[in-house]
Amino acid sequence: MSSLSNRPLKALALFVEAGVFALFAVAVAYGNFHHGVGFFISLFLPIAFGAVVAARVLPTGALAQAITHGALLTGCVIFAFPFVWLVSTSFKYNEEIFIYPPRWVPVIPADVEHSPYMTTELLGDLPPEEATWDKAAWASAWPGMASYLWDRQGERIRQLPGAGDVHPESLRAAVLHGIIEYAARSLPDTAWSVGPSAVMRQIDARVDEELLHTVWDAVYRAVELREPSVQNIQRDYLPLPTGATRHIDAWQVLIGAATLGPTATDEARPSRLLSYDFAGAADAIVMRGAFPLPVPEDEFLGFTLPLRQDRSWHAVRVKLEVGGRLYESTDDLFLDQYRWQEIGFKLARLDERDERDLGIWPLVAAENQHDVFADPDCFRVTLVVEPSSRLVATWRKYTYHYRKAQLATEYWWSYVTNSVYLVLMTMIGQVLSCSIVAYAFSRLNWPGREALFAILLATMMLPPQVTMIPVFMIFEKLGWYNTLRALWAPSFFGSAFFIFLLRQFMKSIPDDLEDAAKIDGCSFFGIYWRIILPLVKPALAAVCIFTFMGTWNDFMGPLIYINDQRLYPLALGLFDFRGEHKTDFGMLMAASTLMTLPVIALFFLAQRHFIQGVTLTGMKG
């Protein structure tokens, strides 16, 4: 090595390091005023120092190993947290996404053996955020406060619809928790300074029907049913013909430790409450009801079942018997909501459109058609509730947004196919064209080389927004509009960025190998193909990775050139998805995760080749 370049290099090193330390200096200076801003920024410190320390003592000792691992792990925490957050958000209920402090482990659903039941999973911790007491003060005051509140409100709470069906202890705990949570929200801060009994009096005074109703909605879970309505082939919704008995009473439990009781809610829209107990026997519950048809059976398209669910994540299978045929649901349906919903079912053979996104599930003819209910004036619905273990419930809860995301994007697979195709084509194009151009720029001497290289660099400097429209017009003339070709063809002309990158690599290859080949009479292409290309494998890997990332994440190009949703790549699909479901955060995160996973997998696998490429270059010795 020439000692000539030593001094500027030292200056450069100093400059680079000065950059790092300038950052720290700012952080520290700022930290003097606001204690600890540096704390966050200094999380970067262990990486930098870890590197230096590791390099210093690496060859010796376990200590060095430990320090290196420590530095690596610290970095991992910083660099992985976004992805961890992305994934963990995709596992959350919508209600738990924005709560503060953030939950890193999403709620694991309870093992629901009895229903109706009470839950506090949507409530915050006690004491409520608004309370100005500390935890200890709260803990000592709470039992007394609770019994005071229960003495005053217990009677009303026990009168709440459905309160008689749940375990009294859990009723008391959950409702009181809820009252505190909701009442505290509107309690002035001064109220807390007076003392427990005064606070309780104020909270008590705030309890009215409306507040109890809100609390009850948040903590009470039950399965309830109303009578179905029928959809005819013209897709009109028809109520059942009125008869002597209420249709709602047609529901009966056939098998299982469950009862169907009346609920005392809305007289105009009667409903039945399902109380079940899976604790003893874990058999499925079978419920059935036969209802009169308001239309001739050949005009029957499907039915809508108003159902209140208990978010227990138990599975529900639906069977329909109509016109002497038995139909079954094919999708996995779970008790995954806790509000009233109108779930639709339709005969898939009469209407093939995929409307699962609209909450209308297809029913297909069952294989086994024995003993089918054959009353021509009635249809019969059977609901089978299969209990799930906690593990299964967790899996179902965690994959909820993924299933929804899949339903919401009917073209998911074509997005993936398009993206993969684009990535492959652009990678091939870039690797082939850029490497050969870079070879010409770095290792061949020809007149005009320097001038063209300057032009090459210059083309990178003009922002793409200005040339977008002229380029569009050219592609349109070439007939590439609304085709994927418009997105991959340019890569075969090379890209300045990669040519420059590869040129830098090729220039740092010693001349000896090439000279030897020349003496052996190798052609220029031969040198490029046999000698240079294998030597720049790591750089080619970098080109591949950059191309992959760029193509995989590019949405502006497809946005402008692609019209047909079937030709969308994933990134544009996701960008669209964001526009359409911007309030559905969990689903958005699930879609992002699905989009990111292939890239991670590829990077993880490509590593190997990348490293092998390096070790095979023969430059080690």
Partner 1 sequence: MILRPAVVVLGLLWSAAAHADRELIVWGQGKDRGLDAALRQFEVEHPGWKVITTSGSSGGMNPQKLMCGITGGAPPDLVKQDRFSVGEWAVRDAFMRLDRYVALSLRGEELAVRVRATLAEKDPVATLAVLGELDIHLRPLGDTRQADLLRSLRASASGQPLADGTQALADELVSLLGGIHEQRFFTACWEEACFGENQDRAVYGIPNSTDDRALYYNEDLLERAGLVDGDGRARPPRDWQELHDFAGRLTERNAEGKMTRLGFAPNFGNSWLYIYGWLNGGRFMSADGRTCSLADPRIVEALQYMVRVYDSLGGIEDVESFQSGFQADEFDPFLTGKVAMKIDGNWTLNNIADFAPGLRFGVAPAPAPAGRESITWSGGHSWAIPAGAGQPDMAFELIRFLNTDRIWDLRYRVEARYAASRGRSFVPVMSPMPHVNAAAFERHVRDNSDLPQRIKDGFLLFDGLMEMSRFRPVTPVGQLLWDEHKRAYEKAVHHTYSPAQALQRGQALVQAELDLLHADTAFPRVDWAWPVAGIVILAITGLGIALCRGGRQGLRQLALPESIAGFAFVSPWLVGLLVLTAGPILVSIVYSFCRYDVLHPAEFVGLDNYRLLFTDDPLFWKSLANTAFMMIGVPVGMAVGLAIAMLLNTEVKGMQAYRTVYYLPAIVPMVAASLLWIWVLNPEVGLVNSLLRTSGVSDPPNWLQSSSWLVGSKTSIMLMGLWSAGSGMVIWLAGLKGIPQHLYEAAEIDGAGVFGRFVNVTLPMLSPYIFFNLIMGVIGTMQVFTQAYIMTEGGPDDSTMFYAYYLFNNAFRYFKMGYASALAWILFIIVLALTLFQLKIAPRWVHYESDG
CB of residue 273 to partner 1, shortest distance in Å: 17
Shorter beta-carbon distance to partner 1: residue 143 or 463: 463
CA–CA dist 116, 310 (Å, integer): 7
Q: Which of 62, 82, 105, 370 binds partner 1 (CB under 8 A)?
A: 82
CB of residue 94 to partner 1, shortest distance in Å: 7
Taking the CA of residue 8 as centre, how many other CA atoms within 13 Å lie in the half-sphere pointing to its CB? Answer: 3
Q: Report the DSSP pairing between strands 378-386 and 315-322.
A: antiparallel
What is the three-class DSSP state of 205? helix
Shorter beta-carbon distance to partner 1: residue 98 or 369: 98
Site stretch for partner 1 (CB under 8 A), options 134-142, 274-282, 286-294, 451-459: 451-459
What is the three-class DSSP state of 282? coil
CA–CA dist 450, 452 (Å, integer): 5
CA–CA dist 188, 186 (Å, integer): 6
Residues 273-332 that bind partner 1 (CB under 8 A): none
Site stretch for partner 1 (CB under 8 A), options 21-29, 272-280, 324-332, 381-389: 21-29
Using CB under 8 A as the binding rule, whether residue 255 contacts partner 1 is answered as: no
CB of residue 205 to partner 1, shortest distance in Å: 12
Site string (529-568) toward partner 1, x via CB under 8 A: ---------xx-xx--xx--x--xx-xx--xx--xxxx--
Q: Is 485:426 a contact under the CB 8 Å cutoff?
A: no
Using CB under 8 A as the binding rule, whether residue 240 contacts partner 1 is answered as: no
Written as six digits, the tokens of 295 are: 């239309």
Using CB under 8 A as the binding rule, whether residue 352 contacts partner 1 is answered as: no
CA–CA dist 213, 156 (Å, integer): 11
Q: Report the DSSP pairing between strands 258-262 and 272-277.
A: antiparallel
Q: Which of 32, 60, 62, 101 binds partner 1 (CB under 8 A)?
A: 101
∠602-604-606 over CA atoms, to 5°? 65
CB of residue 465 to partner 1, shortest distance in Å: 5
Site stretch for partner 1 (CB under 8 A), options 145-153, 196-204, 245-253, 445-453: 445-453
Residues 353-372 that bind partner 1 (CB under 8 A): 358-360
Q: Is 217:119 a contact under the CB 8 Å cutoff?
A: no
Shorter beta-carbon distance to partner 1: residue 287 or 408: 408
Residues 148-177 that bind partner 1 (CB under 8 A): none
Residues 498-527 that bind partner 1 (CB under 8 A): 499-501, 504-511, 524-525
Q: What is the dihedral of CA 185, 187, 189, 195, to 10 degrees?
A: -120
Residues 61-80 that bind partner 1 (CB under 8 A): 65, 68-69, 71-72, 75-76, 78-80
Task: Answer whether the bond into residue 376 is a cis peptide, omega within 30°.
Answer: no
Residues 398-437 that bind partner 1 (CB under 8 A): 408, 411-414, 417, 433, 436-437
CB of residue 599 to partner 1, shortest distance in Å: 5
CB of residue 375 to partner 1, shortest distance in Å: 28
Residues 322-351 that bind partner 1 (CB under 8 A): 337, 339-344
Residue in the structure block whose two tokens are 């639709």: 344
Nearest residue to 151 (alpha-carbon basis) of 204, 92, 227, 212: 204
CB of residue 239 to partner 1, shortest distance in Å: 14
CB of residue 389 to partner 1, shortest distance in Å: 23
Q: What is the dihedral of CA 405, 303, 321, 354, to 10 degrees?
A: -30
Q: Which of 279, 282, 364, 600 binds partner 1 (CB under 8 A)?
A: 600
Using CB under 8 A as the binding rule, whether residue 490 contacts partner 1 is answered as: yes
DSSP string, 483-539: STHHHHGGGGG--HHHHHHHHHHHHTS-SHHHHHHHHTT--HHHIIIIIIHHHTHHH
